[in-house]
Structure 1
Amino acid sequence: MTFTREPAGPPAAGRNTRRQLPSFLVIGVLSTLFYLLLFVVARSVTGAQAANLIALAVSAVANTAANRRFTFGITGSEGALKDQLQGAVAFLIGLGLSSGALALLDLLVPDASRPVEVAGLVVANGLATVARFLLLKVWVFRGR
């Protein structure tokens, strides 16, 4: 079995970033919708923090796999586990931001409705997305 890596294009970082951002944004929007759906479903049977952990863990694995293939052009399974483990750092940042947002919301609005919880998570997820792109680009998929 042969594993291939598509060429990353010219070495100019700006050109690569312009090529990668549209794919990253589409994957990010789809991942966020998937995450929020999972959160709402899990939230119906568990607390906010547990629902957040479940939803974020599942969607982060899918997000890293999709960005690996479509944003950074890496095909095949060679290195996939390592990429997922490195992507876990971005997951932990996202978990910290979203858990913090939920804790702050619980402190400020103890009986917040699901739409208010989701709105808080959207803001936290937006911040985590910026961190995720930077980590994936400069560390996880650097030079590929």
Structure 2
Amino acid sequence: MSAGQGGKAGLRQLLRFGIIGAVSTAAYMALYLAARQVMPAVWANALALLVTAIANTAANRRFTFGVSGSKDALRHQLEGGMAFAIGLALTTGAVAGLHLLAPNASHGIELAVLVGANAAATIIRFVLMRLWVFSPRRRPSQSPEYAS
């Protein structure tokens, strides 16, 4: 693959990752707001993030990084869980910080802070997925489950 082709593949991956991320963010927001009605912000965030992280990793596995089939699916989810943990730490820290600075912040303000923290976590998640979880160097060269 030439450098130009690698750059195009990277842009395609970034575009697909962005589309999946937008859908995941919308789902996260809906889940967070629903859960926030019955539980504290930190727990609502953790629940919404966990559910969307599992679906997000599966979707990125298939559509962004071209991996199909069940081979390595559990490993991919577990490694994606590392990215989830980083995202959870960032978002939990953000909402905890908000509550220290503005204890009576509305659920809408909480959500805005969480979406911002999730944006930072998303950048980290893309880098981890591209360079580690779904790295071409870790793929078996003749495996039909990995698209070229």
TM-score, length of structure 1 as denominator length: 0.91
CA distance in 1, matches of 2:80, 2:66: 16
Q: Which amino acid aligns with 2:13?
A: Q
Identity %: 53
Task: Map Cα deviations across residues 65-111 of structure 1 (whole Å, 9 max, x no partner).
Answer: 00000000101111100000000011011001100010000001101
1:19 offset after TM fit, Å?
1.6
Q: What is the aligned residue count?
A: 135
Alignment-derived partner of residue 36 in structure 1: 29
How large is the RMSD of aligned CA atoms in angstroms? 1.0
Runs of 4+ more than 4 Å apart = none
Q: Which of 61, 64, 77 lines up with 1:68 in the alignment?
A: 61
CA distance in 2, matches of 1:124, 1:91: 12
TM-score, length of structure 2 as denominator length: 0.88
CA distance in 2, matches of 1:128, 1:90: 8
For residues 5-44 of structure 1, the aligned pairs below 5 Å read 10=1, 12=3, 13-44=6-37
CA distance in 1, matches of 2:76, 2:2: 21
Q: Which amino acid aligns with 2:38?
A: V
CA distance in 2, matches of 1:121, 1:29: 14
Q: Which of 94, 101, 119 lines up with 1:101 in the alignment?
A: 94
